[in-house]
Amino acid sequence: MAEIQCIIFDLDDTLVESEPIWAEAYSKLYKILGQDFHRKDLLKYLGMTILDVSRDAHSLFGISKYTVEECATMLREFLLQGYDGNIKLMPGVLEFLQKVNGRYKMSIASGSPREAIEKTIKAKGWENIFIQYVSAEEVEHGKPEPDVFLEAARRLGCKPENALVIEDGVKGIIAAKKAGMLAFYVKNPPDPKAVSRADRYFPSMKEIQPPDLQIIENNYK
């Protein structure tokens, strides 16, 4: 029986609308590196850590003026500038959190820096909702490897088979399933690759109701 005891949320574009923040940060870094930034670059980097992105850009463009670490420092600075009290919630997030808060242990597991997660939690007043949170920078491998979700579950004292992941990205869904967890994919429009791998698909969190969690539990008995 897969009884859901904890819910692990991705942060970026699952809980908060951060794609414009990441796009702006990438654009600033690319400009310093003498490159043009395009949307395809943003899509490639979704779910990756700052260090992994910096390694990729450094190698791709053959950068010699800056080290990978210097690129990562600049990208981190640009990124954190955007995580403030004005960041928007994704549709249905507030209502969903109100429905499940107190019924499940909850955590955030994200490819974003820990500082970005902390700033978001503080800005939104979520200190009593998310008792734990993990950045992929704190584990050996980022998404699509399962490390960040496994660490989030460990900190919550929750077995992987009793964890539900809510994600908006293909890499995140793959990571959740590698971790042996249930996975809800939330994205509009959806990526067919993620839909096919997830246990359930929803256009937004507005469509997820408490009975949906019970249904997924019953399907895994």
List 165's β-bridge partners, or say none.
8, 183
pLDDT score recorded for residue 131: 84
pLDDT score recorded for residue 40: 87
Instruction: Give the HSE-up count for residue 11: Cα atoms under 13 Å, Cβ half-sphere.
Output: 34
Start-to-end CA span in the chain (Å): 4
pLDDT score recorded for residue 215: 62
CA–CA dist 21, 59 (Å, integer) = 23
pLDDT score recorded for residue 75: 96
Helices (H), 131-178: 147-156, 170-178
Q: Three-state SS for 214?
A: helix
CA dihedral (27, 30, 34, 40) positive or negative: negative
pLDDT score recorded for residue 221: 46
* Tokens matching residue 207: 């469509």
Single-letter code of the amino acid located at 196: S
pLDDT score recorded for residue 44: 87
List of the chain residues with pLDDT < 70? 1-2, 215-221
CA–CA dist 135, 149 (Å, integer) = 10
Q: What share of the chain is helix, strand, coil (3-state, %, to 5)?
A: 50, 15, 35
The answer to whether 78 touches 111, Cβ cutoff 8 Å, is no
Beta strands in the chain (DSSP E): 6-9, 105-110, 132-135, 163-167, 182-186, 200-202
